[in-house]
Amino acid sequence: MFFILLLCFIVCLVFLRDYSRKRGHRWEKLSEFPGDTPIPIFGNGLQLGFDADQSTHKLLAMWERYGKQNFRLSLGSEDWILLTDPDDIATILNHPTEISKPLERNMAMKPFFGNSVSTSEGDRWKSTRKLMAPSFNFNTLEGRVDDVNKYCDRLFEIFDTYDGKGHVELYRYLRPFMYDILCMSLMGVETNMLADCDHPYLMAGSKVIRIITHNYFSYWRNVRFLFNVTPQYREMMDTIKTIKQNSTNLISERRKILNSKIEKTLANNKNIDIDMKKIIESTLNNSGCLLDKFIFSKSPNGEPTSDDVINEEITLLCFTGHYTTTATISHTLYCLAKYPEIQNRVLEEQKSIFNNNFHTNPTTQELNQMKYLEAVIKESIRVIPTVTKIGRQLQNDLTFKDGRVAAAGCSVLVFYDAAFKNPKVFPEPEKFNPERFLDSMHTFAFVPFSAGPRNCIGFRFAWVAMKATISNILKRYEVMLGDAGTEPQFVSRLVTESTNGIHIKLKKRNL
């Protein structure tokens, strides 16, 4: 009898809380957006189901059902407003103070990347962004192109073995390729992951996005006492250990290189009074090596930044930097293989830029001339969004252009999958049409690297890496679709990826 009464009491509390919530300011403002009525405890969570890989497809179906416009969704006690209109996207991304990332997203990310620049706020975020900015400015780009060209030669030694022989799986080789470029360019450490495609870091890295996405959408994982005894938790902790150990190794290796340089400088200037501090400061100011800046940085109390803090930032940069860029390059090459007439147009542009001398490596000046290739990459991102959604957790009410208000406490998400299919912005969105990006459009119709104060700080590096890599590949090979049965099986996780990889055929050009 006691348990029945207790159960009745709990049920009454749940319905009372739900009744109170739906009479509050937040629900009043939320109800101005289309969406289904949430049920107590679960909200609209049951509509998404329990398969995290299918969540984006179900969100897209909701968007279409609501008239292809902004809509709302409640997951438990959390409320989302999903944006697909460029004016509203501009409102949130341009906002000077609403820069906090969504709670659910941070909870999913922090076990892997801690309080890094992606999740941090306040002084930690500001100081880290300021520290990182010089390593991604225009002055560093030429050196980045040189690094890409250097590692393309190594990549082609592998790709040449596939010339006219079956198909190559792009993720397998482009992930270590991009990782090697990033480590050389930003960490000052030469790695050779491309020679060890089954390296534990790469094997662990392939699990990260899947686990984070499941943490984000599998709501039971937030019940820690339950999640912590599952095999999924053990897999997550093993994965985290592997990627963090890799960052520890990078930091240790770079410290050895720096100490060797310092010792050599002192040995060569034994009879000269030199200010080592000034030499280091001068080197940091003129170098694009981001890891050096972290190693020599100071915490607010004046002490050297701890290795734990550096590790968080390096783990984030190494993973996101190589993983997202690899996805975009791979997906663009797949689209070029799928649409050979567009590949031919890219090739014609390459011929005009290089005067048919395809043995020449691109420079930043030549990359800037590749307008059609850039349009193709953008259209590939539009059709296969690399990042599926980004968001902000509102601290205050936010008013959109049409007068509707997103209430404080809501998560406002830029829903790229739907925004890039919005027929009002992209006519005939089902067509692969790079020319649409050669015309003017709303500034916030296409912002895959975000925008405003919390944009992706490495977007220039990413564009250099993507354009230079694809340019070098297309000058050397014709890319074609893989055999039947190798078609990509895309799933929209936090990063869109194919569960069976990206398979294409390569044929060396006779140029």
pLDDT tens digits, 447-456: 999 999 999 9
What is the pTM (predicted TM-score) of this model?
0.93
* CATH T-level assignment (fold) for domain 32-508: Cytochrome p450 (1.10.630)
pLDDT per position as a tens digit, 61-93: 999 999 999 999 998 888 999 999 999 999 999
Both tokens assigned to 382:
């539009």
pLDDT class of 223 with cuts at 50, 70, 90:
confident
pLDDT per position as a tens digit, 237-267: 999 999 999 999 999 999 998 888 877 777 6
CA 264/CA 161 separation, integer angstroms:
42
pLDDT of 15 higher than 60? no
Cα–Cα nearest to 401, from 95, 96, 97: 95
Radius of gyration of the chain (CA): 25
pLDDT per position as a tens digit, 317-326: 999 999 999 9
Cα–Cα nearest to 511, from 383, 350, 375, 391: 350
- 91-100, 118-127, 249-258, 267-276 — which is least confidently predicted? 267-276
Cα–Cα nearest to 377, from 443, 448, 314: 448
- 299-303, 316-320, 497-501 — which is least confidently predicted? 299-303
Mean pLDDT of 290-304: 88
β-strand pairing of 490-492 with 496-498: antiparallel
- 215-229, 296-310, 315-329 — which is least confidently predicted? 215-229
**Amino acid at the residue 261:** K
pLDDT per position as a tens digit, 390-441: 999 999 999 999 999 999 999 999 999 999 999 999 999 999 999 999 999 9
456 is in an annotated binding site: yes
Phi, psi of 86 (to 5 degrees): -60, -40
Mean pLDDT of the chain, nearest integer: 90
CA 293/CA 285 separation, integer angstroms:
9
pLDDT given for residue 2 in this prediction = 60
Both tokens assigned to 47:
């509509």
pLDDT given for residue 277 in this prediction = 60
pLDDT of 273 higher than 80? no
pLDDT top residue among 15 and 485:
485
pLDDT given for residue 141 in this prediction = 86
**Amino acid at the residue 75:** L
pLDDT given for residue 486 in this prediction = 93
pLDDT of 220 higher than 90? no
Continuous segment of H or E residues that includes residue 296: none
Mean pLDDT of 351-360: 88
Phi, psi of 56 (to 5 degrees): -65, -40
